[in-house]
Structure 1
Amino acid sequence: MRRRIWAALFLLAALALAWRMVAISGNLPEVVTAARFEELRADSPQLRAFLRRMPKGADLHTHLSGAVYAERFITWAVRDGLCLRRADWAILPRPNGAAADQPCGADPAVVPIADAVSGPRGQTTYDLLLDALSMRWFLPTPAIPSGHDQFFGTFGKFNAATGGSDWQATLARMAEMIADQLRQYDADAVQYAEFMVTLLEGDERRQLSQAIGTETEPAAMLAALQSAGLAQSVTGRAQQVAELVKQIDALLDCGSERRKPGCGVTYRFIAQVNRNSAPADVFTQTAHAAALVRAAPHSVVGLNYVGPEDYRISLRDYRMHMKWIGFLTGSDVPVALHAGELWLGLVPPPDLDFHIREAVEVAGARRIGHGTAVGFERDMNGLLAEMRRRGVTVEIALTSSDVILGVRGTEHPITTYLNAGVPVVLATDDAGVSRIDLSNEYYRAAHEHGLGYRKLKSLAHNAITHAFLGEDEKRRELEKLDRSFADFERSVAHGETWVEWVQAVALGAVLTR
């Protein structure tokens, strides 16, 4: 009798396993690919190569100027005849009226960058400049004691190479920068990107801000901006964005048979607002960004607040900023916000426990950038449940959290978000400053947090599902991603033997990732 029972149990287990294997083999290339991924976990170079080829959907959190590697800024600075201030390794514009024999002025510490990176010590200067403009080989010093300070300090040093204060020069440089990034995304198997860019600068921004005067009530502030020509400014900027897109297409020959790599990568813009400005200036930027999204929804698809969240003005005005965003964007302007890019010790505890919740519940953010400090939020589990209910997506930038906040490994909350059912995507943040690409973030998710192939594949799908695209555009991008994954998985499965296929199916029957 006992033998019959054991035989029956064994038969049931065998049937269950066989049924599981048959079900899994319905998508055999995916099963084989997932099994191959597991085999590569212990072989870092092979894992990196696998992930570089793997489709990654989208990069939804990338600052355009921070995405560019320092080498490109130096190349452009040399070409444009810019100057280098050796004291702090800042790239500077040529002073107006400078003499031909002193193109960078009379100060001997400020020299043409072309001269600085040439000659016997040119390579040494070049290397030191790369280090100053990025996180490459960063080591703390009394002058720059943290990765946080080095990271955020780089932007002012290379600003002149992005076009500086001249808006037309900035547009031309933006076209070059975006074309470069689209080529990089093409090489990295990324099909869509949303670039954070500043779209209101200079005298136009100052004049609009001054129109607010002493008004402090949002409706009155908005009325003052409208009276001062907000609509006309937005119309003009929308036309300039359209011209920018044409410039990018021309750089990549996207309208010809000679189209270059990058033409197949879809992109949109996120209008960024400098949160560490005077109140009237922040309100003006926010109102302009919201109006621009409404005026040019097929190119500018949302807004975001940028700049260190831990700076004095951002902390002081945070709740006011969230109310302004909710007021100005309503339900029709997509909002993604840096929130919770903080950690214990960086700011006092009272500044840690409400930023993500206010971004979600007051500002109406559909996506949260970083969200690193979620563990310090009041009623974290209640917040996570609300984010899951609303479908609020978290843009996780693992390297950025590491180099800026020192948060890595099990300290990072990516697993907390995933376990709570909150949508998660992986992003680069500032790939050039951090010296990474999106494949590196997928590698870190696999290597440091144990995410398997199917989970990474779901994150790639999330990046398209939660993009700020219209439904028809999103459907086309999802179909494109599905085709890319099917091709990728077939290519992986094609290289396996029949024995490896059988092993993969068996492994897939018990694999739970």
Structure 2
Amino acid sequence: MRRRIWIAALLLVAAAVLVRLIVVAQDFPGVATAARLETLRADPPRLRAFLAPMPKGADLHTHLSGAVYAERLIGFAAADGLCLRTADMTLVPPPPGAAPGAACGPDGGLVPVAEAIAGWRGQGIYDRMVNAFSMRWFVPSGAVPSGHDQFFSTFSRFNAATGGADFELTLARLADMTVDQLRQYDAEKVQYAELMATLFEGEDRRRMAQVVSAAAGDRPVIEVDPAVLLAALKANGLDDLVAGRARQLTALIARIDALRACDGGRTKPGCGVAFRYIAQINRNGAPAEVFAQTALSAALVRAASAIVAGINYVGPEDFQVARRDYRTHMGWVGFLAGTDVPVALHAGELWLGLVPPDDLDFHIRAAVEMAGARRIGHGTAIAFERDMDGLLAEMSRRGVAVEIALTSSHVILGVRGHAHPILTYLAAGVPVVLATDDAGVSRIDLTNEFVRAALEQGVDYARLKAFAHAAIAHAFLPEADKARERERLDAAFAAFEQDVAGTMPLPARVAAVLRAAFGFGAGR
């Protein structure tokens, strides 16, 4: 009798093992791909080569001008006849009325970029420009003591090459930069991108800011009912200005389509990537400018949602204006965006020591609860928030995603490895996507962020795959467009995993199934 019981028990165990093996084997390509990644953790070059063709879904947090590599910006500057101010390696337009043959005027400190980089002697200036426009070879000094300072100072140095205050030139450069980035994304298997760009510059923005100031009268703008300020903007041409900008952006898309020259199968470089813009707002301007730009940007999303998908505040969160007006800004975003304009916000891009402690404990919560942010950019300072666990639970419940830029957090804040909260977010069930932030400034690409997640955070293949799916799920797209992008992503993963599995020898295949079935070497 006892023998029969043992035999029955063994048969039950064998049956359970067999069922488990059958279940695992049904997804053999995925199982094999996950196993292949685990074998490459000790071989970073091969891990990089493995992850490069892996589908990555989307890059939802990228500043277009900061995504472009310095070499391309220098090419723009030379083609546009810009001048280089050699004292601080800053690009500037030629001075008005410069004489023929002296395009940059009599000041010896201003030289034409094309002339400065010409010939073999120009290589030194060229290298200094690349370093000034990026984090390449950055070494702290008395003048620039931190990666934070170097990172944010690059934009003012190369801004003239992206169009500067001239919006017509900005539109031309937006087209060039967009096409460049779409081709880059195509090469590294990114199928969708949301590109942050400033869509209201120059005189139009200044005029609207003056309307806001006039509506406030003798009172500080931050103390005036935002409904009063918005009414003043509408009474002074906001809708017409937005309609005109929407027409310009429609023409921009046509220009981008012409540059891409896509074929029917969309097989040319860059043609396989869908995109939208995010209207970015400088949070460190005067209150009247910030309100006007936020109102204009929110209205533009409503007028041209097929081109501009949402809004975001940009600029260092630790600067004094951003700190002083933070709660006011969040209230303005909540009022102006309402429930129909998608909002992503840089929040918690801070760390202990960078700002006083009382600036660390509410920024992410205010972005979620006051501004209604659907995505949080960076979120590095989550550990310092009041009731962190409660906030994490709220983000999980609301489906508020966090855009993690591992390299950016490292070079700007010095936060890396297990000090970074990515695993905290994952453990709390908060949706996580990986992003580049400013690939050109940081000298990276999105593949690099997947590599860092695997090597520094111990993230396994299933989680990397989930990051790619989350990026599509949390894109600011209509549901029908999301469904199409999900289908594309599923097909891309199926092809990738079949390719990986097809290259594995039989012993490796058996080991992969056993590992998946019984947990050998399981990662996070």
Query: Is the Cα–Cα contact under 8 Å of residues 252 and 259 in structure 1 kept in the other structure?
Result: no
Give the secondary structure class of the aligned counterpart of 1:395: strand
Query: Is the Cα–Cα contact under 8 Å of residues 370 and 394 in structure 1 kept in the other structure?
Result: yes
Q: Alpha-carbon deviation of 1:173?
A: 0.7
Q: Counterpart of 1:69?
A: 69
Query: Is the Cα–Cα contact under 8 Å of residues 277 and 309 in structure 2 kept in the other structure?
Result: yes
Q: Counterpart of 1:45?
A: 45
Q: Alpha-carbon deviation of 1:121?
A: 2.4
Q: Counterpart of 2:508?
A: 500
Is residue 314 of structure 2 the alignment partner of residue 306 of structure 1?
A: yes
Report the count of equivalent residues. Answer: 513
Q: Counterpart of 2:221?
A: none
Q: Residues 3 and 71 from structure 1, CA distance in 2 versus in 1: closer, same or farther, beyond 3 angstroms?
A: farther
Query: Is the Cα–Cα contact under 8 Å of residues 58 and 193 in structure 1 kept in the other structure?
Result: yes
Q: Which amino acid aligns with 1:491?
A: D
Q: Counterpart of 1:320?
A: 328
Structural mapping, 1:76-87, within 5 Å: 76-87=76-87
Q: Counterpart of 1:139?
A: 139
Give the secondary structure class of the aligned counterpart of 1:269: strand
Q: Alpha-carbon deviation of 1:259?
A: 6.4
Give the secondary structure class of the aligned counterpart of 2:300: helix
In structure 1, list runs of 5 or more residues that go unmatched.
none
Q: Alpha-carbon deviation of 1:498?
A: 2.5
Q: Which moved more, 1:375-384 or 1:498-507?
A: 498-507
Q: Counterpart of 1:471?
A: 479
Q: Alpha-carbon deviation of 1:2?
A: 8.3
Q: Counterpart of 2:402?
A: 394
Structural mapping, 1:57-136, within 5 Å: 57-136=57-136
Describe the superposition over 1:118-160 as per-residue Cα deviations: whole angstroms up to 9, x where unpaired.
2342111111111110000110000000000000000000011
Q: Counterparts of 1:7 and 1:125 in 2: how far apart (Å)?
A: 81
Q: Alpha-carbon deviation of 1:471?
A: 0.3
Structural mapping, 1:287-306, within 5 Å: 287-306=295-314
Q: Could you tell me which of 401, 416, 425 is aligned with 2:433?
A: 425
Is residue 32 of structure 2 the alignment partner of residue 32 of structure 1?
A: yes
Q: Counterparts of 2:518 and 2:76 in 1: how far apart (Å)?
A: 54
Q: Counterpart of 1:203?
A: 203
Q: Counterparts of 1:74 and 1:329 in 2: how far apart (Å)?
A: 37
Query: Is the Cα–Cα contact under 8 Å of residues 385 and 420 in structure 1 kept in the other structure?
Result: yes
Q: Counterparts of 2:512 and 2:462 in 1: how far apart (Å)?
A: 14
Q: Counterparts of 1:151 and 1:99 in 2: how far apart (Å)?
A: 35
Q: Counterparts of 1:8 and 1:61 in 2: how far apart (Å)?
A: 57
Q: Which amino acid aligns with 2:335?
A: F
TM-score normalised over the length of structure 1? 0.97
Q: Alpha-carbon deviation of 1:3?
A: 7.8
Query: Is the Cα–Cα contact under 8 Å of residues 215 and 232 in structure 2 kept in the other structure?
Result: no
Structural mapping, 1:249-288, within 5 Å: 249-254=257-262, 260-288=268-296
Q: Which moved more, 1:106-115 or 1:304-313?
A: 106-115
Query: What do you get for the CA RMSD once the two structures are aligned?
Result: 1.5
Query: Is the Cα–Cα contact under 8 Å of residues 336 and 366 in structure 1 kept in the other structure?
Result: yes
Q: Alpha-carbon deviation of 1:254?
A: 2.1
Q: Which amino acid aligns with 1:112?
A: P
In structure 2, list runs of 5 or more residues that go unmatched.
217-223
Q: Which moved more, 1:319-328 or 1:113-122?
A: 113-122
Structural mapping, 1:389-468, within 5 Å: 389-468=397-476
Q: Which amino acid aligns with 2:165?
A: S
Describe the superposition over 1:75-124 as per-residue Cα deviations: whole angstroms up to 9, x where unpaired.
11111111111111111111111112221111111111112112342111
Q: Counterpart of 2:220?
A: none
Query: Is the Cα–Cα contact under 8 Å of residues 249 and 255 in structure 1 kept in the other structure?
Result: no
Query: Is the Cα–Cα contact under 8 Å of residues 41 and 455 in structure 2 kept in the other structure?
Result: yes
Structural mapping, 1:170-189, within 5 Å: 170-189=170-189
Q: Counterparts of 1:258 and 1:36 in 2: how far apart (Å)?
A: 31
Q: Alpha-carbon deviation of 1:17?
A: 2.7
Describe the superposition over 1:443-489 as per-residue Cα deviations: whole angstroms up to 9, x where unpaired.
00000000000110011000000000000000000000000000000
Is residue 348 of structure 2 the alignment partner of residue 340 of structure 1?
A: yes
Query: Is the Cα–Cα contact under 8 Å of residues 253 and 259 in structure 1 kept in the other structure?
Result: no
Q: Which amino acid aligns with 1:264?
A: G
Give the secondary structure class of the aligned counterpart of 2:195: strand
Q: Alpha-carbon deviation of 1:169?
A: 0.7
TM-score normalised over the length of structure 2? 0.95
Q: Could you tell me which of 218, 222, 241 is aligned with 2:249?
A: 241
Give the secondary structure class of the aligned counterpart of 1:467: coil
Q: Which amino acid aligns with 1:406?
A: G
Q: Alpha-carbon deviation of 1:422?
A: 0.3
Q: Counterparts of 1:57 and 1:184 in 2: how far apart (Å)?
A: 14
Q: Counterpart of 1:484?
A: 492
Give the secondary structure class of the aligned counterpart of 1:53: coil
Q: Residues 493 and 80 from structure 1, CA distance in 2 versus in 1: closer, same or farther, beyond 3 angstroms?
A: same
Q: Counterparts of 2:94 and 2:13 in 1: how far apart (Å)?
A: 77
Query: Is the Cα–Cα contact under 8 Å of residues 84 and 111 in structure 1 kept in the other structure?
Result: yes
Q: Counterpart of 2:219?
A: none
Give the secondary structure class of the aligned counterpart of 1:136: coil
Q: Which amino acid aligns with 1:76?
A: F
Q: Alpha-carbon deviation of 1:16?
A: 2.7
Q: Counterpart of 1:385?
A: 393
Query: Is the Cα–Cα contact under 8 Å of residues 281 and 293 in structure 2 kept in the other structure?
Result: yes
Query: Is the Cα–Cα contact under 8 Å of residues 134 and 154 in structure 1 kept in the other structure?
Result: yes
Q: Counterparts of 2:385 and 2:108 in 1: how far apart (Å)?
A: 51
Give the secondary structure class of the aligned counterpart of 2:100: coil
Identical columns (%): 64
Q: Alpha-carbon deviation of 1:496?
A: 1.4
Query: Is the Cα–Cα contact under 8 Å of residues 215 and 228 in structure 2 kept in the other structure?
Result: no
Query: Is the Cα–Cα contact under 8 Å of residues 266 and 272 in structure 2 kept in the other structure?
Result: no
Q: Alpha-carbon deviation of 1:195?
A: 0.4
Q: Alpha-carbon deviation of 1:18?
A: 2.3
Q: Counterparts of 1:344 and 1:353 in 2: how far apart (Å)?
A: 11
Q: Which amino acid aligns with 2:394?
A: E
Q: Counterparts of 1:377 and 1:5 in 2: how far apart (Å)?
A: 57
Q: Alpha-carbon deviation of 1:219?
A: 0.6
Q: Alpha-carbon deviation of 1:11?
A: 4.7
Q: Counterparts of 2:2 and 2:37 in 1: how far apart (Å)?
A: 42
Structure 1 segments (4+ residues) deviating >3 Å: 1-15, 255-259
